[in-house]
Amino acid sequence: MRILVVEDDRDVAGFVVRGLKETGHVVEHAENGRDGLFMAASENFDAIVLDRMLPGGIDGLKILETLRAQKNAVPVMILSALADVDERVKGLKAGGDDYLTKPFAFAELLARVEALGRRGKAEATQTKLVVEDLELDLLSRQVRRAGQKIDLQPREFRLLEYLMRHAGQVVTRTMLLEGVWDYHFDPQTNVIDVHVSRLRQKVDKPFPVPLIHTVRYAGYMLRAEGAV
């Protein structure tokens, strides 16, 4: 993916840029609002990581509003120390696709940016998700693996659906909480792990090859054997 990082703090920017490059992305970096706006408007990116408070008279939200006013639909992840619910709402209203507050774990940022970058390409009218021998039918709400029917609770079905839609990508616990349960706070207890482990019991355990993998320090990934 080609990613633009607009961030004025050298350390944070260096950390993000290096991390993204290491995971195989092409990264451009802008240090202030003016350069950020110029680059975002004149070049094509798959995703933009945008700090809110920037020097140079143009802050993150202004960049975002300008881009959206020009009908530029590039996925934007806002990265900000402003963590209030109202600030988050403000960021999303201005056209942000996701909002991550500082401080953050790089794994979280990476997982979310990759999810954003691919979202644009996902077919909207899919009725069936398939990974290896696992099939999930969105219309009949049935799950089969190797032709065998698997009975899932409604919530387990949605959890599996989320993992399959993000197949091959890291999905963090926070993303699952937000995407499957619509919870926007950290429940401290390992509730997500328990749900995933129950899903594994049904989807992976009876079969020789596991599909749901735990990614250390990050979260989970559903992927076909051999694929990375």
Asked if residue 162 binds another protein (CB under 8 A), the reply is no
For position 198 contacting another protein by CB under 8 A, the verdict is yes
The angle subtended at Cα 89 by Cα 159 and Cα 116, nearest 5°, is 45
Q: Select from 14-22, 27-35, 123-131, 176-184 the region that touches another protein (CB under 8 A).
A: 176-184
In the list 137, 190, 225, 227, the residue contacting another protein (rule: CB under 8 A) is 190
DSSP designation for 25? -
Nearer to another protein, 1 or 105 (CB): 105
83 binds another protein (CB under 8 A): yes
Q: What are phi and psi of 147, to 5 degrees?
A: 80, -5
| 181 scored as a contact of another protein (CB under 8 A) | yes
Structure tokens at 135: 């099939």
Report the residue from 41, 53, 92, 194 that binds another protein according to the rule CB under 8 A.
Answer: 194
Please state the φ and ψ torsions of residue 26, each to the nearest 5 degrees.
-95, 125
Based on the shown chain and the rule CB under 8 A, indicate whether residue 141 belongs to the binding site for another protein.
Answer: no
As a whole number of angstroms, the distance between CA 80 and CA 91 comes to: 9
7 Ramachandran zone, left/alpha/beta (phi>0; psi -120 to 50):
beta
* Segment 84 to 113, residues that bind another protein, using CB under 8 A: 84-86, 101, 103, 105
Whether the CB-CB separation of 80 and 51 falls below 8 Å is answered with yes
Contact yes or no for 78/47 (Cβ under 8 A): no
Rounded to a whole number of angstroms, the minimum distance from the CB of residue 222 to another protein is 18
Q: Which residue has the tokens 């350069």?
A: 35
First to last CA, the chain: 15
| 207 binds another protein per the rule CB under 8 A | no
Select the residue interacting with another protein from 24, 139, 188, 226 (CB under 8 A).
188
- Selected from 189, 208, 226, 228, the binder of another protein by CB under 8 A is 189
Least gap, CB of 52 to another protein (angstroms): 16
Binding site for another protein (CB under 8 A): 83-86, 101, 103, 105, 155, 181-191, 194-195, 198, 217
